[in-house]
């Protein structure tokens, strides 16, 4: 149970698989993805799939969202547990991405690292599932 009595939304195995499949697909399509992770947003009790791409800075977030939308369309049911509405595109230099990068460093592959109840430089990370944090 969450502190305010609301049952915490769970990150399901289907969501975890879908996020990995989408990240792989973005790689295959040549989108530079420096970080990708599910992050629990306690304020709204929902999970967000955060994609950090340098193209968000160079071409704007809408161009990156367009490419993600295309990838999701192609993947169909394989990625249905990672709906477009749950995805947030950020720049790699975003504070959250930099913070996670100081605590967890991965290569350019796709891992599955659970990161829960941790404080990084004074910032509390409730729950995250990290596929990539390559900086």
Partner 1 sequence: MPDKELVKKFYTHRLDTLLSISDAKQALHARTEIDPQFSINWNTVCGWSEASRYDHETSETQARDMLAAVADPQYGVLPWLKTVW
DSSP string, 50-64: EEE-THHHHT-HHHH
Q: Give the shortest CB-27-to-partner 1 separation in angstroms.
A: 21
Number of C-beta neighbours around residue 59 at 10 A: 13
93 closest CA partner among 52, 36, 37, 50: 52
Between 14 and 46, name the residue whose CB sits nearer to partner 1. Answer: 46
Q: Give the shortest CB-64-to-partner 1 separation in angstroms.
A: 9
Between 1 and 44, name the residue whose CB sits nearer to partner 1. Answer: 44
Tokens of 118: 């941790």
What is the rounded distance in angstroms from the CA atom of residue 113 to the CA atom of residue 5?
A: 27
Q: Give the shortest CB-44-to-partner 1 separation in angstroms.
A: 6
Q: Give the shortest CB-54-to-partner 1 separation in angstroms.
A: 12
Between 14 and 95, name the residue whose CB sits nearer to partner 1. Answer: 95
135 closest CA partner among 103, 87, 101: 101
Interface with partner 1 by CB under 8 A: which residues? 43-44, 46, 56-62, 65-66, 69, 84-85, 87-90, 93
Between 6 and 111, name the residue whose CB sits nearer to partner 1. Answer: 6
């Amino acid at each position: 149970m969450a502190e305010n009595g609301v049952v915490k939304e769970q990150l399901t195995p289907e969501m975890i698989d879908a996020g990995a499949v989408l990240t792989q697909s973005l790689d295959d399509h040549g989108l530079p993805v420096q970080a990708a992770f599910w992050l629990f947003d306690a304020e709204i009790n929902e999970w967000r799939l955060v994609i950090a791409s340098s193209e968000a800075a160079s071409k704007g977030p809408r161009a990156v969202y367009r490419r993600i939308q295309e990838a999701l369309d192609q993947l169909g049911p394989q990625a249905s547990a990672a709906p477009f509405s749950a995805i947030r595109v950020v720049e790699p230099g975003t504070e959250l991405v930099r913070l996670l990068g100081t605590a967890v460093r991965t290569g350019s592959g796709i891992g599955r690292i659970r990161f829960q109840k941790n404080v990084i430089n004074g910032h509390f990370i409730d729950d995250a599932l990290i596929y990539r944090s390559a900086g």
